[in-house]
Amino acid sequence: MHHTLLLLLSLCAAISFSTRLHAQRVVDLDEYTIAQLQEGYRSGAYTTEEVVTYYLHWIESIDRTGPALNSVLQINPDALEIARQLDEERRAGRLRGPLHGVPILLKDNIDTHDKMETTAGSRAMKGSHPLQDSWVAAKLREAGAVILGKTNLSEWANFRGELSISGWSGLGGQTRNPYSLDRNPCGSSSGSGVAVSANLCMVAIGTETNGSIVCPATANGIVGIKPTVGLISRSGIIPISYTQDTPGPMARTVTDAAICLGALTGVDASDAKTLPSAGKAHRDYTVFLNKDGLKGKRIGWNKGAAGQHFKVDALMLQAIEHLKNQGAVIIELDAISETNANGLSFEVMLYEFKDGLNKYFAALGTEAPVKNMEELIAFNAADSIELKFFNQELLVMAQARGDLSDSTYLNALAGMQKAMREDGIDRVMDQHGLDAIIAPTGAPAWKTDLVNGDHYMLGTSSPAAIAGYPNISVPMGFVDDLPVGISFFGRAWSEPVLLEIAYAYEQGTKHRKQPRFR
């Protein structure tokens, strides 16, 4: 009752606010798409400045107070000035790109060269100002987006310690699930997933090493695209794994995620992983969206997650029935790979985390708050908050690793990629002539537990994550008012066919429901 009252009070305040702001034009952007937003701009229904003011108000009303979702870590103090500039450009007939005037939030491990910090949620990184924009931030600005601010995250993208809590950071505290406030938003792109779901922005950018886009997508009832590693540059992103890390868009619809994806692609000389994307990347992925895209598609059903949660199993069977009714052929797969590559992947992450993080600190120059991983470990040990709920064992383990010439690292890297590429996803897709593979993304959100940490029941992100291949999570339905997603994944650079399939499924089912902050 208390949360309902707060929400009603916030709603009344917002209506009053909107009325004053728009000179009697009450604007309600809940569940708006990019296409609807752009049509409003074209018709003169509102300006970018008005839209940004609207979102900033709702962040204050819903995120900071009201239900207090705690998804936004920082507000861009220049957001309104950027909006005014974009309005001037629009009036002059100059549109930067498909995201002109679209408000976007960035996960706070993505560098911006402005008045905002980039912290990974760590108190050790308070006051850290990168010397230049990340590739992602630069491409968004180029496309006309308004970077509203930075989102909270699982600290260090959830690669710090044992019994960690998704959505918690030393700087930001705990992010809450908008469908049920005592439940977890999953992570590590927790704030990005929650902010999109709660309509605090149009689109957000997350990052994934293994599950950190698709898990908060499923837990918060939205669409998340984890692209092929190298489709979007990682330059200026606080790293975990050079081999597995990638940024990706999170949105309420497949179309909006596809629009954002196209704005971020390109070859970046600073990130060698992007070099193979030449000739395989696209600037406009919306051309692949096809309502009849399931017809004739051969889709493998990865049954490895079956039997772990009967309620999720029931939703999955309904999804499969829909896919069949729309003309898809479903082939059951007992496993993707005969080798469990998770241990190999973990070893690779430890080595690459140390190497990548030390390089990131060095790139900050003389003003870096901490200079290396060893200093970070010492800071956390002396801090009053950082180790309050869980330890930093992963940092300690990474610090103990050697450099990237070690045979242990090289063998683990070769082993995991063989297991999940040629002996995994590529093998089963060749064997069965598949266009994509499906699986439930995860189970419904668990209750946040600061004592025992996260309670994962199932997750299917590892094959695509370890292979470095694309994965798209789309809402599949609800279990007791909590959303659950379905994942579509496949070969390297197969985003076009995955988007075609995911869009057709989304349009045929329309499972997305706005959260009510219970």
pLDDT at 208: 99
Of 212, 233, 241, 473, catalytic: 212
Tell whether the model's pLDDT for residue 34 goes beyond 80: yes
Mean pLDDT of 404-414: 98
Of 71, 107, 169, 487, catalytic: 107
Q: Is residue 518 part of a domain?
A: no
For the question of residue 212 being annotated catalytic, the response is yes
SS3 annotation, 385-437: CCCCCCCCHHHHHHHCCCCCCCHHHHHHHHHHHHHHHHHHHHHHHHHHCCCEE
Q: Is residue 164 part of a domain?
A: yes
> Of 201, 123, 147, whose CA–CA distance to 381 is shortest?
123
Tell whether the model's pLDDT for residue 508 goes beyond 70: yes
Q: What are phi and psi of 124, to 5 degrees?
A: -65, -20
Mean pLDDT of 176-187: 98
Q: Residue 251 sits in which domain range?
A: 2-509
Of 128, 180, 188, 461, catalytic: 188
pLDDT, tens only, 475-490: 999 999 999 999 999 9
Q: Is residue 516 part of a domain?
A: no
Neighbours of 384 (CB within 10 A): 8
Tell whether the model's pLDDT for residue 20 goes beyond 90: no
Please tell me the distance from the alpha carbon of residue 62 to that of residue 425, in angstroms, as a whole number.
Answer: 42
Tell whether the model's pLDDT for residue 42 goes beyond 80: yes
Helix (H, G, I), strand (E, B) or coil at 509: helix
Contacts of 179 (CB under 8 A, 6+ apart): 197, 220, 221, 445, 481, 482, 483, 515, 516, 517, 518
Q: What are phi and psi of 246, to 5 degrees?
A: -160, 140
Q: Is residue 426 part of a domain?
A: yes
Q: Is residue 82 part of a domain?
A: yes
pLDDT at 26: 54
Tell whether the model's pLDDT for residue 424 goes beyond 90: yes
pLDDT, tens only, 426-438: 999 999 999 999 9
Tell whether the model's pLDDT for residue 355 goes beyond 90: yes
Tell whether the model's pLDDT for residue 17 goes beyond 80: no
pLDDT at 27: 73
Percent of the chain residues topping a pLDDT of 70: 95
Tell whether the model's pLDDT for residue 300 goes beyond 80: yes
pLDDT at 1: 33
Q: How confident is the model at residue 12 (pLDDT cuts 50, 70, 90)?
A: very low
Please tell me the distance from the alpha carbon of residue 245 to that of residue 247, in angstroms, as a whole number.
Answer: 7
Mean pLDDT of 493-499: 99
pLDDT, tens only, 318-352: 999 999 999 999 999 999 999 999 999 999 999 99
Tell whether the model's pLDDT for residue 185 goes beyond 70: yes
Mean pLDDT of 452-458: 97
For the question of residue 107 being annotated catalytic, the response is yes
Mean pLDDT of 365-385: 97
Neighbours of 334 (CB within 10 A): 10
Which value, to the nearest 10 degrees, does the dihedral of the CA atoms of residues 253, 256, 257, 261 take?
170
Mean pLDDT of 107-126: 98
Q: How many domains in the chain?
A: 1
Q: Is residue 514 part of a domain?
A: no
Q: Is residue 341 part of a domain?
A: yes
For the question of residue 188 being annotated catalytic, the response is yes
Q: What is the CATH number of the domain that holds 263?
A: 3.90.1300.10
Cα angle value 113/257/165 (rounded, 5°)? 70
> Please, what is the average pLDDT of the chain?
95
Percent of the chain residues topping a pLDDT of 90: 95
Tell whether the model's pLDDT for residue 178 goes beyond 60: yes
Q: Is residue 158 part of a domain?
A: yes
Tell whether the model's pLDDT for residue 197 goes beyond 90: yes
